[in-house]
Structure 1
Amino acid sequence: MSLVEIVSHNEVIYTILDKPPPEPPKTPRYQSALEKQLKETKIPQLRRTFGYAEVPVSPPDKFLKKGEGIGQPVKKSDHKHYTTGDLPPVPRRPPPGKKPEKPKVNFRVVNIKKAIKVKGRPVEPRLVDTRDGHTKKIKGSGEVPEYCLRPDFGQMPAYLVKRNRRIQRALDAIRYAEENKESLCKQIADEERQKLLDDLKLNWQLMQKAFLQLPMLTDTPPKILKKAKMEQELKQLEKDILLVESNPYIYVYD
């Protein structure tokens, strides 16, 4: 092993490291082309203040007079009227004529004639029931029979008459329907009976063919249920066929 002794050296660690890259130059700041022109043309207004310390009062003769307030603005129109040639003069307004005279009416005579023709008001009958002269009207007092003298006394009310008529019409309609109703039972023709029998036999043949195609081994519940259902349908078809064949006359109810 050898030992190296360094007495003096001029190496600096900062000179060994790489220097950072220089920063890119900044873009020039945007300046408006009109800014300098505006500054030159702007005239400073000196001696500007915030206003009067106290608002001056108008003199007494400067009060608001009639017609000087803020009113509706006058609408201006762009309409222009162009005249061609000489126009006829505007006709003058005719002079005001005399008003028609109202006929003179003697109201005293008219009122007297009306009073002669007016019939006197009939005196309403009254009843005095005390010695002091207390009177009351006979009408509505119960002293004189009134209700039994009415023209509709003892007659059936109109709403009951209408109700009875409506009920009678409904009963007549039901009676007419029962008398003229057709029989609900009717006999089917031989052609229909034969066609029904042929359709039943055809359904039995199709069902029998499907039943014979079932698997011999029924080891699952779905197979058992399907076989039992088809057997039940076959038995029902056989009963229907036997019923139609044994009865030549068949009646059907609507």
Structure 2
Amino acid sequence: MSVVEIINHDEVIYTILDKPPPEPPRTPRYESQLEKQLKEAKRPELRRTFGYAETPLKPPDQFLKKGQGIGQPIKHTDHKCFVSGNLPPVPKRPPPGKKQEKPVVNFRVINIKKAVKTKGKPVEPRLVDTRDGHIKKIKGSGEVPEYCLRPDFGQMPAYLVKRNRKIQKALEKIRHAEENKESLCKLISAEDRLKLLEDLKHNWSLMQKAFLQLPMLTDTIPKILRKTKMEQELKQLEKDILAESNPYIYIYE
């Protein structure tokens, strides 16, 4: 093991480390060339106050006249229209003639005639109901009977009369349709009766054949239900055949 003896104690860590690289030079700041001219052209004397102590007024003859305001900008264009061909001549102005004389109207006489013919405004009946001169219109105040004196007082309104007429017309139409209604019960002819009887007998024979083909032993519920249903249908067909034997048969449509 070796021992190092330190005699000088003036070592600094910052002297041992490498120095950082120098910063690159900065580019010069942009300066406008017109800035100095603008500063010289400014007049600082105009910025010394907040404005005029008294607003100067224009003389009365310098008012804004017609056409002196800010209007629409005029559009200028370089377009030129080149005329090609022969155009008809410009029509000449007609010779000046005498203007038609206006008839002389005496407005005084006309106004006097109108004033004589006009009728005065009717005086609206009013009522003074207080000592202070409070005026109240009689019409609509309830002091005078008005509603009971109307020509249509106590009469049925027009819309109810119109509705009753419609109802009456509908009832008459129904009554007329019932009176002229054809009977639903009709007598069938002999040919139709024979054909209907033949069809019933044919159906009965088919049903009877199917009934006879049923098994003799009915030990299940479906068999019992089927047999009872076929028996009921056979009975109904027999009743219909007996009824069709009558020479007079009516049907309902």
TM-score bucket (shorter structure): 0.5 to 0.7
Alpha-carbon distance in 1 for matches of 2:106, 2:179: 83
SS in 2 for 1:151: coil
Q: Quote the residue 2:112 is aligned against.
A: 112
Q: Quote the residue 1:151 is aligned against.
A: 151
1:207–1:230: structure 2 CA closer, same or farther, 3 Å change rule?
Answer: farther
1:54–1:97: structure 2 CA closer, same or farther, 3 Å change rule?
Answer: farther
Alpha-carbon distance in 1 for matches of 2:94, 2:121: 57
What letter is aligned with 1:168? Q
Q: Quote the residue 1:184 is aligned against.
A: 184
1:111–1:240: structure 2 CA closer, same or farther, 3 Å change rule?
Answer: same
Gaps of 5+ in 2: 1-31, 35-73
Task: Please report how far the alpha carbon of residue 205 of structure 1 lies from its aligned counterpart in structure 2 after TM superposition.
Answer: 4.4
* Equivalence map 1:90-109=2 (5 Å): 92-109=92-109
**Contact 1:207–1:230 under 8 Å retained in 2:** no
What letter is aligned with 1:71? H
1:140–1:215: structure 2 CA closer, same or farther, 3 Å change rule?
Answer: closer
* Equivalence map 1:59-78=2 (5 Å): 71-72=76-77, 74=79
What letter is aligned with 1:141? S
SS in 1 for 2:127: strand
Q: Percent identity?
A: 67
Task: Please report how far the alpha carbon of residue 127 of structure 1 lies from its aligned counterpart in structure 2 after TM superposition.
Answer: 1.7
Q: Quote the residue 1:172 is aligned against.
A: 172
What letter is aligned with 1:251? Y
Gaps of 5+ in 1: 1-52, 56-68
Q: Quote the residue 1:136 is aligned against.
A: 136
Count residues in correspondence: 182
User: Cα RMSD between the aligned structures?
Assistant: 4.1
1:235–1:75: structure 2 CA closer, same or farther, 3 Å change rule?
Answer: farther
**Contact 2:207–2:230 under 8 Å retained in 1:** no
**Contact 2:188–2:250 under 8 Å retained in 1:** yes
Alpha-carbon distance in 1 for matches of 2:243, 2:130: 100
Task: Please report how far the alpha carbon of residue 193 of structure 1 lies from its aligned counterpart in structure 2 after TM superposition.
Answer: 1.0
Alpha-carbon distance in 1 for matches of 2:184, 2:205: 34
SS in 1 for 2:136: strand
Alpha-carbon distance in 1 for matches of 2:93, 2:150: 73
Q: Quote the residue 2:15 is aligned against.
A: none
What letter is aligned with 1:241? I
Task: Please report how far the alpha carbon of residue 88 of structure 1 lies from its aligned counterpart in structure 2 after TM superposition.
Answer: 9.2
1:205–1:113: structure 2 CA closer, same or farther, 3 Å change rule?
Answer: same
Alpha-carbon distance in 2 for matches of 1:197, 1:166: 51
* Equivalence map 1:1-254=2 (5 Å): 71-72=76-77, 74=79, 80-81=84-85, 92-205=92-205, 211=210, 231=230, 236-245=236-245, 247-254=246-253
Cα deviation digits, residues 31-84 of structure 1 (max 9, x gap): xxxxxxxxxxxxxxxxxxxxxx979xxxxxxxxxxxxx863563757x742x6x
155-164 or 111-120, larger mean C-alpha shift: 111-120
Task: Please report how far the alpha carbon of residue 214 of structure 1 lies from its aligned counterpart in structure 2 after TM superposition.
Answer: 6.9
SS in 2 for 1:113: helix
Alpha-carbon distance in 2 for matches of 1:112, 1:71: 60
Q: Quote the residue 1:33 is aligned against.
A: none
1:117–1:160: structure 2 CA closer, same or farther, 3 Å change rule?
Answer: same
Alpha-carbon distance in 1 for matches of 2:198, 2:173: 44
Alpha-carbon distance in 2 for matches of 1:75, 1:229: 112
Alpha-carbon distance in 2 for matches of 1:207, 1:242: 17
Task: Please report how far the alpha carbon of residue 111 of structure 1 lies from its aligned counterpart in structure 2 after TM superposition.
Answer: 1.8
1:217–1:171: structure 2 CA closer, same or farther, 3 Å change rule?
Answer: closer
TM-score, with length taken from structure 1 = 0.54
Alpha-carbon distance in 2 for matches of 1:180, 1:170: 16
